[in-house]
Amino acid sequence: MPVFEYTALDVNGKTTTGIIDAESAPVARQKLRTGKTFPVTIQEVAEASGKKETESPQAFSFLYRVKPSEIAMMTRQLATLVSAGFPLVSAIDALIPQTKSKAFKKMLARIKDAIVEGNSFAAALSLYPGTFSTLYTNMVKAGESSGTLEIVLDQLADITEKQQALKNRIRTAMAYPILMSFIGAFVLFFLVTFIVPNITGIFEEMNQVLPVPTRMLIIVSAFFKSYWWVLLLILIGLFLMFRSVQKTASGRFFIDKTLLKLPMIGQILRKLAIARFARTLGSLLENGVSMLTSLEIVKNIAGNMLILKAVESAIQEVSKGIGLGTSLSAAKAFPDLSIQMIQVGEQSGDLEKMLEKIASVYEGEVETSVLGITSLLEPIMILIMGVIFGFMVLSICLPIFEMNQLVM
């Protein structure tokens, strides 16, 4: 069914905008008038219904991207409406006007149309794999099969909200150090490139032997002033090389393995990956998805090739009847504590709750570690910037002191 964008006036004379699905523009106008909304302009959306998201031009893919926070909010609202007894189509229809993103509005309208045409909710969501992950689609499919869609939607909302909250806390903790690093680097570059040459130029005109720190500062300043573009090209080249290496399986494996070996940062990345893996696997198992299918879904969730290889090996072992904890321990990618907790959960028959505890434990440790690192970064940054600026001041002041001694 075609989708139309409209601008209309409500009963109070206020301008409203949104989208509506109808067989034609006149039918869309009639539907709006029935709802006591008076259309001003109606325009059909160019994209055809049912097209997959992946068919959109890659160069403009950012225009179709939906934020995880929007998906989390939609999931929570949809779960609330379905739990309250709303039919799925009516619930989605009620959410469309409340969605701020135009791209997401169109997406929800097409999902609703696909359901009306007889498709399942999971099949409709699978039209947009870049927005709704395999995990999301499979959990919805399990909920539809078992008749517990409202429970599954609640759990999906919990997962997405917790992951988003953890990301936001990490970003908030790292925002200040990163901002100060950029500001400090910019100020330092500006001083070395534009201010220092004007000051040191006076010393060079005196034809005197300058102190070693002053000469070092003059060399560095001249290099930055004349060849700053070389540094920029080097940084761009390194970034492009990193991206090209990251696109290959062997390159990404090497990068992920190196990251996990970094002091402090490696442990944070490992715990974050394990927490994501455990929470997702626990939710899938709790909703009746089989162990092997769940492992196939979550092997890409961790976001690390080392963890992915460990899960792939575990899938083969589990298919032979070996326990999950024993299978994961062979790869040495999972911490011993997580392996022991998984084995305890398997023995007690309460693996789902144990996986949830693993996720909570490691998410708490990640947040504590990040706060600890940021608390150390601030004094370290101040110390480094103080040493650099102190060296610059000393390099400028030393020739002045020598000139005073000669005068005296």
Co-location of 165 and 286 in the same domain: yes
Q: Please give the Cα distance from 70 to 87 (Å, whole number).
A: 21
CATH number at residue 7: 3.10.20
Cα separations (Å) of 228 from 36, 150, 158, 320?
A: 63, 58, 48, 60
162 plus 37 within the same structural domain: no
Number of domains, the chain: 2
Q: Is residue 285 part of a domain?
A: yes
* pLDDT tens by residue, 147-187: 778 888 887 888 788 778 877 887 887 888 888 888 888 88
Give yes or no for residue 38 having a pLDDT over 70: yes
Residue 80 counted as domain residue: no
Kind and range of the H or E element at 6? strand 3-9
List Cβ<8 Å contacts ≥24 apart for 293-297.
293/138, 297/134, 297/135, 297/138
Mean pLDDT (the chain) is: 80
Q: Is residue 117 domain-resident?
A: no
My answer on whether 366 and 237 are in the same domain is yes
| CA pair distance 388, 382, nearest whole angstrom | 10
Domain presence at residue 205 = yes
Q: How confident is the model at residue 341 (pLDDT cuts 50, 70, 90)?
A: very high
Owner of token pair 């321990």:
329
pLDDT digits (tens, 9 = 90+) for 54-109: 444 333 444 457 788 888 888 888 888 888 888 888 888 888 888 888 888 888 88
The answer to whether residue 111 sits within a structural domain is no
Phi, psi of 39 (to 5 degrees): -70, 140
Statement to judge: residues 170 and 21 lie in one domain: no
Residues 394 and 248 occupy one common structural domain: yes
Question: Looking at residue 237, what is its pLDDT?
Answer: 92
pLDDT of the residue at 292? 87
Is 398 found in the same domain as 249? Answer: yes
Q: What CATH number did the domain enclosing 216 receive?
A: 1.20.81.30
As given in the structure block, the two tokens for residue 49 are 């219904």
Same domain, 42 and 166: no
Give the domain-ending residue among 30, 46, 62. 46
Evaluate whether residue 170 is within a structural domain.
yes
Q: Tokens for 145?
A: 């099969």
Long-range contacts of 294-298 (CB under 8 A, 24+ apart): 297/134, 297/135, 297/138, 298/135
Domain that includes residue 41, residue range: 1-46
Which is it for strands 3-9 and 15-21: parallel, antiparallel or unpaired?
antiparallel
Asked whether residue 197 is domain-assigned, the answer is: yes
Does one domain contain both 254 and 373? yes
> Do 160 and 28 reside in the same domain of the chain?
no
At residue 335, what are phi and psi to the nearest 5 degrees?
-60, 150
| Whether residue 384 sits in one domain with residue 256 | yes
Cα separation, 324 vs 337, whole angstroms? 14
Going by C-alpha positions, the residue among 4, 6, 3, 10 that lies closest to residue 38 is: 10
In a domain, 32, yes or no: yes
Q: Tell me: the pLDDT tens digits for 214-248?
A: 888 888 888 888 888 888 899 899 999 988 888 88
Q: Quick one: which of 37, 53, 45, 46 has its CA closest to 19?
A: 45
Identify the band that residue 51 occupies on the pLDDT scale cut at 50, 70 and 90.
very low
Shared-domain flag, residues 194 and 332: yes
Which pLDDT score, from 0 to 100, does residue 406 have? 55
